[in-house]
Amino acid sequence: MAWRSSGSSNAALVNNLAANGLITDPRVKNAMLSVDRAHYSPALPYEDSPQRIGYSATISAPHMHASACESLLPFLKPGSKVLDIGSGSGYLTHVLAELVKPGGTVIGVDHIQPLVDLAARNMAKSKEGRELLESGTVKFIKADGRKGWPEGAPYDAIHVGAAAAEHHVALTDQLKAPGRLFVPVEEGWMQHIYVIDKKEDGSLERKKLYGVQYVPLTDAPES
Ligand code: SAH
């Protein structure tokens, strides 16, 4: 499934993802067309596969980013507030920002300072990215994402880009009602994507989607 969508340009990659049914919504397609993955992936940016970005982190495969955006889409509207935990390269943070413009904000959190700096540098490679940073639409912050980012809460949508060892209550606590969390969770030697909705009455509804392989959500390495 993955490599079949690879292309020779950003547009070819995104069009192939759509042709293969991995992007179904035109808003997600347009957002991914507007962000050049070459600004974020140090190698083979137009392949539908994860790539190393240093510090044991990877930029996830484009089909995973597409799936995360499609899952969160009902909560990604102009003006929405979004938290992107484990922002790594900053690619998804940028795509999410395109989906909440104008008036929305996306906070990218990573616990490795050089990756926080890398994400901001990657975003500054394009005029659109520089505008997102200068307007405060996007902020990259160093923090332990397992605790969320209470300063910016509550959020319409929270994306977690690393596999959590448990269902961290801090994350659902920081969702609006209604709001949605997309999170890979470790279960034994497997990981599954969970989509957790906070309903208007504050109750939680968990849906288990498909199996995945993500970098774990961990303690920060000794520096
Ligand atoms: N969405 C990113 C994924 C990067 S890989 C991208 O596609 O580029 C997962 C990221 O989670 C890494 O950057 C890693 O540093 C970060 N991470 C792991 N544990 C974390 C924690 N406790 N708090 C914040 N970030 C964490």
pTM, two decimal places: 0.97
State the distance from the centre of ligand 1 to the C-alpha of 184, rounded, in angstroms: 12
Most distant CA atoms of the chain, gap in Å: 47
Sorting pLDDT into bands at 50, 70 and 90, what band is 168? confident
Backbone angles phi, psi at 127, to 5 degrees: -60, -45
CATH code that applies to domain 66-211: 3.40.50.150
What are the residue ranges spanned by the domains of the chain? Answer: 66-211
Q: Each residue of 177-206: pLDDT tens digit?
A: 999 999 999 998 899 999 999 999 999 999
Judge whether 8 counts as a catalytic residue.
no
Q: How far is the CA of 115 from the centre of ligand 1 (A)?
A: 9
35 lines ligand 1 (CB under 6 A): no
pLDDT at 35: 98
Mutate to test the pocket of ligand 1, among 89, 94, 110 (most ligand atoms within 8 A of CB): 110
Contact in structure between 197 and 178 (CB atoms under 8 Å) = yes
* Closest by Cα among 3, 110, 122, 19 to 61: 3
Instruction: Give the helix ranges, DSSP H, for 80-209.
Output: 91-100, 113-123, 127-134, 169-173
